[in-house]
Structure 1
Amino acid sequence: MTEKIHTRGLLRFITAGSVDDGKSTLIGRLLYDSKSVLTDQLQAIQKARHKRTSGEQIDFSLLTDGLEAEREQGITIDVAYRYFSTANRKFIIADTPGHEQYTRNMVTGASTADAAIVLVDIVRAIKENGEFELLAQTKRHTALIKLLGIRHVLVAVNKMDLVGFDEARFNQVKTAYLALARQLGLDTSQIHFIPVSALGGDNIVFKSEQTPWYDGKPLLSILESLDNGEDDKLNAPEALRLPVQLVIRQDGSLADDFRGYMGKVAQGSVYVGQQIRVLPANQTATVTEIITPDGSVQQVLKEGMVTIRLDVDIDISRGDMLVDAQAKVESSKTLFADICWFDEFPLNLKRKYLLKHTSATVPVRVSQIHHVLDVQTLLGAADKDQLALNDIGKVGLSLQKPLLVDAYAQNQITGSFILIDESSNNTVAAGIIN
């Protein structure tokens, strides 16, 4: 028996959209039709206490809604991660909540995604007068997809069976979503529209006979073909970003007073002999040794875990950033960002928060709210002086200590942060640096 060859790299994707649009059911059907459900799992959901289908029909949503509260309420609360693979690719799915109350969970699941499946319930979006309008949470999630820089969007128009697989209704969704995408600044060439019935399996893994007018591929085939951006990773030494996580010391009485600086390469590469600069202190040194879990090496690329040694002992601590000595970058005490507010207590401009960026934690104040996104009009309201739960706003921040940051579009690791309430230690916001 020969091993299957995966012709493309790992793809991480999320499901997004409003509550009850059928996200969990779609993922369950995707797993089931791609033969990724074990027999004991299938037997367990067939006997489940909170099954919402009749007779022998499988409730596919139970494959991802694992919490008891989720099964009782019939909604997704937490982010459910599932792994599966086909002959062509490996996947990690994040089934994210649709309810507005759990927007923070959606942001968590989307932060590492290469693609997003946005479900649109075609029945709920049709108003009494027959007109079509996208739901508010669909708009909010699409705005977050734009902010998080997710490259590919697959719009799965669900419950097509309830409108008789009407092509005209499908085109209504397509027109409305393309208008939304253009308004938000999404690349419309990377948006795919698929008419599906998650419960019936139409156009999920196999092409449906119910949609002869649809000339595209089923959902899984599109996922298998997407570019995950691996070729775009910057490995050039001059692009180096190495946040220091830990300074390792050995007994100073020994002949070799070992001092190493441990971290994960966030961008670029580091090599023996490279001259590096430490920010924010602006001191320079030369790399003399690189130690990895596999032993000493000459060079480590992006995402590699390293412990490096330098030719001189300089003051380096957790939270400092190592860059190439020739890089024309500087740290700063001010930055501008888009943030999504997670806390039930609104943002207070008079309060101090903690900003966690890579391995650094710095006291910070939100100096100004430039505008807050109105998810209905997709316009920024400039007259608001606070951010409430699930609001998305553009803000200015003043840091107590300078940090080296990058734009999120350039690097997701050094271009993102979270805000923490000092008193409760709760994560109150996630931010994306402009």
Structure 2
Amino acid sequence: MATPPTGTSRVSPTRVVLILGLLCAFPPLATDMYLPAFPQMAQAFGVGGGAIEATLSVFFIGLAVGQAIYGPLIDRYGRRSPLLIGIALYVLSSSLCLVTSRIEPFIGLRFLQAVGGCAGMIVGRAIVSDLFDERESARVLSLMLVVMTLAPILSPVLGGQILAVSSWQAIFAVMLAFGLAGALLVWFGLPESLPASRRRNDGLAGIAQGYWNLLCTRGFIAPTLVGGLAQACMFAFITGSPLVFIGLYGVGEQAYGGLFAAIAAGLILAAQGNRIALKHWSPAALLGAALALNAVSGAVLVAIAGHNSLTALLAPLWFSIASLGFIGANATTIAMAASGPYLGSASALIGVVQFGCAFLVSSLVAGHQNGTAYPMSLAIAGSGLSAGLVWLAFWPGRPKPVPEAMPAGKKRRQRQDKPRQAAL
């Protein structure tokens, strides 16, 4: 474990993981828990289903925008204050969602809810890198991945149970309660992990330079792209599986939930296996092996997609999704370890790349449905293969961290000193 900053030495790692895990659950809870309420909400707002679906689409946009905003802020002002502001925005927008009666302001509030809710994800990655070394960071992120995987599995079930006894507003009341609980836990249980001596004081030019340095550093951008492309496999599965399981193979809605949970359980088991394996192997070694498994499983999935057998399809699909339990945490850890002084901006870019890849792949799956399993299977296989090829082509081995941008005044002084040094 890395030497913790002053003031965090007595913080329990278990407490940190539990608090950050809860914060990372905000976005999946806010996206999946209200899905069963779509028909009821459309009737309440007096709109068609497309308008309600727009409240989901705008949430994903808010997640990407919010992460880009938080990145430089948490490098400049520390982790705790921006995190508390983000949670406050999430709580405020969730409470206003309860009382609005028109769809237009509701859509805007969903955008703000996403901007506030994503603070936990981006700040969580930075805090883990602050407190733990590379190998331990991968183990912690694996545990957080379990929470982030359980949340979208359990959220629709929880939403359905709430609707059985109350209205759709009660779902947003539960979101509000989660937000308040997160605020209390952060306020009383999560101290600042970035001391003032390590904070940056960049203006807009410095922020842009930091992002540029990250994008130009192979040791950062290679694992970031690998993680984003591989995680897109999960979104291809989420988008395509209802049409494949229910529409193509005639699986019932309740049985679909069971199959979805069984496949997602593979990711949870793999994440726990990754935590154990990291005691013996490096994150880079485990990432390479998982990418190979993902590529092989994807190829088998495409080969079987044309056969009329759901049972045969499930095995390679399970391994494709399970391999993400090794890929996500290790790719993120390697990227963050190579980010140098830009941990906040690095965490932001990782999030933007992941959601960008997810949006692209899920859109391709949704837009190319043809009544077969090929759109989902090809998207999963293509994403995994692309991730593997990026890793093979651009991974530099032991990367150097991102260089710190030099202040303009110091650059000018160095240029002035060069002729003097040459003359000497």
The higher relative CO (CA closer than 8 Å, separation ≥ 6) is in 2
Comparing both structures, which one devotes a greater share of its residues to helix?
Answer: 2
- Shared fold per TM-score greater than 0.5: no
Comparing both structures, which one devotes a greater share of its residues to strand?
Answer: 1
- The normalised TM-score by structure 1 is 0.28
- The normalised TM-score by structure 2 is 0.28
Rg bigger for which structure?
1
